[in-house]
Amino acid sequence: MVQELSRVLRISDFPATAPAANPVFYRTYSRKTATGRESWQEVSDRTIQGLAELGKLTQAEVDLLQRYQEKQQSLPSGRWLWVGGTDWIAKPENYNGGYNCTSTNVIDWRAFGLMMDLAMMGCGTGAILEPKYINQLPAIRNSLQVAVIGELGQTPAEDRQEQTRIEIDGNSVTIRVGDSRAGWVKSYQTLLELSSDDRFTGPVQVAIDLSDVRPAGERLRGFGGVANPVKLPELYDRVAKILNKAVGRQLDSIECCLLIDEAAVVVVAGNVRRSAGMRQFDSGDTKAAGAKENLWQQDEAGNWRIDPERDALRMANHTRVYHHKPTREEVLEAVTKQFYSGEGAIQYAPEAIARSNADLLKTPELRQEFIQIYLELGSDEAKNWLKTNWPNQSDRELNHRLQRYGLNPCGEILGADFHCNLAEVHLNQIDPKDTKTQEDAFRAGAISVAALLNHQFSEERYQFSREVDPIVGVSFTGLFDFFVHAFGTPWLDWWTEGRPETLQGLEFKRQEAAYLNRWRDVVHEAVWDYCDRHNLRRPNRCTTVQPAGTKSLLTGASPGWHPPKAQRFLRRITFRKNDPVALACLDYGYSIVPSQSDKDENGHLLNDPFDPRCTEWLVEIPTEVSWANLPGADQVDISQFSALAQFDFYMQVQTHYTTHNTSATIEFREPEIQPLADRIYEAIANNQGYMSAALLARFDANATFPRLPFEPIDKATYERLEAEVVQRRRTDDFLASLRLYDSGFQVEAGPAGCDSDKCMMPEQKPS
């Protein structure tokens, strides 16, 4: 009886340890079921049970996961929190939907279809668009004349067909789109295939029949959320226009990119779910380098508009792959470009490939020899060197080894044609003196990611990649908070000084490295032990740091390795107008304002969230970091931490913990362009382990962009706003309030790929 009562009390609400925890959890991870909105305990039970069954976990392993998940010290991926343990994810055709992120080499039309399928399941999609891949695509030979017939929802629900049907009569084709994820994907991929099909003798007349596709607003079975096909009718004509421009030749990299991104636009239509994408281009691809330049244009009246033919490019981040060491001038150009446009990041491929072959390149000497051969003699000779030293490798596996520089959308995972599942340890929840809890939390993360290695993918390219290069990623968040608690405000003061290598600074670095090295070793030991016991191939790299935007809010952690925006700030979280979770936030005392996109006829921001013109809400949550009130902490201005100090800390993590890549966003000011470029150049030139990082211009005037996700505030403002929240609060039971507002369906469809605000598009337009 006591045990049952305890359970009832535990499921009454999310055990919020951070002010944004309830809004984020119930918006993003809690599903609507036949019995109502899931509580935290129900989500925890569901996801752990799913891991236990898939991973054939022992009772001791299940107990470990439960202990650290319930305390929010170690959590599975955002994808798994949403779909783990559901009937949907138990079906082989849906296995992909359990993974945060993917990368696919674009070598055939099927690759395009796969990426649309992945995006519709919520996965982040990476795509490599270098010539050696896209030159394998067939040339475009047929002009496509597209006409959309039939209205969405025209066929009664009981008569709708789930499979797409294709009818060909001479040069005429009818595509009747099926009412399913597979149906949408097949219709899109079929249109691509028609463009190169040699059976046609002239322009192809294509009729797209949408009669079977359910209308907007109907609930989706299994995955969750609601249908929103409002952009689907536009997809086919936009795709045909891109293809028709290339008749008589092969597609170029930007045309391939647009084809992928147009499908992404359909997936995120109506702002129901955001998208995460990465597109990798060759460093010499000048067209790709300028693809997003002048994307926004301003008319004489000062109004901004976006180039409609390139609008879809906002669906993904763009990275340039360097297979050589970039010159100092190339690095400076890239850093400068990123300051002014946010695009042009460098990825240094030799380092990525070396890290991705850690099972062979086990010593610094072997690694350096491989990189040198790759740089001086090229990938073919590097492959021959690998074959000479490890002759048992098949030719296909050797080719795969040389392709392992594909990136997921936030840049923290390396591989080729891969899927990655990410767990996350919340270091801000753990005492720096408690070594056992730290190690057990990382061990729990390792087990939760290793369990998914039991999936067998139906797509052969993904299954082969898993067999020869199984990938897992154990990340952490709240590292900055952890070290403040470990070292105190002298550590913050050292940051303010730029993290110089003084006697004290060197001691700080030694202790940082000791923590990071120990956690890395625990993860690899736990993953490898699990794989050995289950007869699975060992992943050769298991640690990473993701940007950790959304899940970090559950515990109030500073994201990933990054410093927080400030000791105290106003956190704004986006909801659709009248979202039940947002209404519960009102009852809980939080204030709501219209979003940046809601303006009056004169272009001024709306102020009344219940204005009929308002479509989106921002819930405003006053927030204070866990160490804000330590003696002396208020004297430290985090916004003034230099770019070089950030880079130094990032490289500590990259060197001592991360075996994939560390997702990093270095914020910098204009005077820092040159010194930051010099430091990146030196890191690459001296083989220090740098591979790729995002650079973001930092502006001191918050007024430049009103209603930002983060707005720094001082202590007096925080205390005033927090008191107002308490004064307005009508309930202390967030879940009970939410259940009163739930109206039968959930607008969100789980977390976006990679689970991070940093990687979610579309991007902010100019103010």
Task: State whether residue 557 is helix, strand or coil.
Answer: coil
Contact between 175 and 168 (Cβ < 8 Å) = no
Q: What percentage of residues in the chain have a pLDDT greater than 90?
A: 81
pLDDT of residue 61: 98
pLDDT tens, residue by residue, 597-625: 888 888 888 999 999 999 999 999 999 99
Contact between 753 and 409 (Cβ < 8 Å) = yes
**Rounded CA gap, 266 and 188, in Å?**
11
**Which single residue is written with the structure tokens 């790709």?**
288
- Give the mean model confidence (pLDDT) for residues 128-137: 98
- Give 610's contacts (C-beta < 8 A, 6+ positions apart): none
Q: What mean pLDDT, rounded, does the chain reach? A: 91
For the chain, state the CA radius of gyration: 26
**C-alpha distances out from residue 23 to 26, 190, 572, 613, 760, Å:** 6, 41, 11, 24, 19
**Rounded CA gap, 152 and 172, in Å?**
22
pLDDT of residue 272: 39
pLDDT of residue 274: 54
Contact between 686 and 651 (Cβ < 8 Å) = no
Burial of 201 (0-12, 13-18, 19+ CB in 10 A): exposed
**Rounded CA gap, 355 and 371, in Å?**
10
Task: State whether residue 266 is helix, strand or coil.
Answer: helix
**Confidence (pTM):** 0.93
pLDDT of residue 589: 96
For the chain, which domains are there?
28-98+422-540 (no CATH), 133-289 (3.30.1620.10)
pLDDT of residue 34: 84
Contact between 522 and 442 (Cβ < 8 Å) = yes
Closest CA to 129 of 313, 255, 281: 281
- Give the mean model confidence (pLDDT) for residues 361-380: 97
**Rounded CA gap, 68 and 85, in Å?**
18
Please, what is the Cα angle at 15 between 9 and 19, to 5 degrees? 140
- Give the mean model confidence (pLDDT) for residues 422-450: 97
- Give the mean model confidence (pLDDT) for residues 337-359: 94
pLDDT of residue 766: 40
Alpha helices in 356-502 (DSSP H): 364-377, 379-389, 395-402, 435-450, 460-468, 479-487, 489-496
For residue 17, pLDDT beyond 80: no
Contact between 583 and 741 (Cβ < 8 Å) = yes
Other beta carbons less than 10 A from residue 349's beta carbon:
25
Closest CA to 438 of 430, 446, 428: 430
- Give the mean model confidence (pLDDT) for residues 397-426: 96
Query: What is the distance between the terminal CA atoms of the chain, rounded to a whole angstrom?
Result: 59
Query: Quick one: pLDDT band at residue 222, thresholds 50, 70, 90?
Result: low
The conformational region for residue 506 under phi > 0 = left, psi -120 to 50 = alpha, else beta, is: alpha
pLDDT tens, residue by residue, 474-491: 999 999 999 999 999 999
For residue 748, pLDDT beyond 70: no
**C-alpha distances out from residue 80 to 3, 49, 411, 524, 543, Å:** 27, 11, 20, 21, 18
Query: Quick one: pLDDT band at residue 280, thresholds 50, 70, 90?
Result: very high
pLDDT of residue 234: 94
For residue 299, pLDDT beyond 80: no
Other beta carbons less than 10 A from residue 236's beta carbon:
23
pLDDT of residue 227: 61
**C-alpha distances out from residue 701 to 620, 670, 721, Å:** 20, 14, 22
Q: Helix 580-588 crosses helix 734-741 at what angle (to 10 degrees)?
A: 140
Contact between 5 and 567 (Cβ < 8 Å) = no
- Give the mean model confidence (pLDDT) for residues 432-443: 98
Query: Quick one: pLDDT band at residue 761, thresholds 50, 70, 90?
Result: very low
Q: What is the 3-state secondary structure (H, E, C) of 95-146?
A: HHHHCCEEEEECCCHHHHHHHHHHHHCCCEEEEECCHHHHCCCCCECCCEEE
**Rounded CA gap, 14 and 737, in Å?**
12
The single-letter DSSP state of residue 344 is -
Q: Which strand (E) or helix (H) includes residue 24?
A: helix 21-28
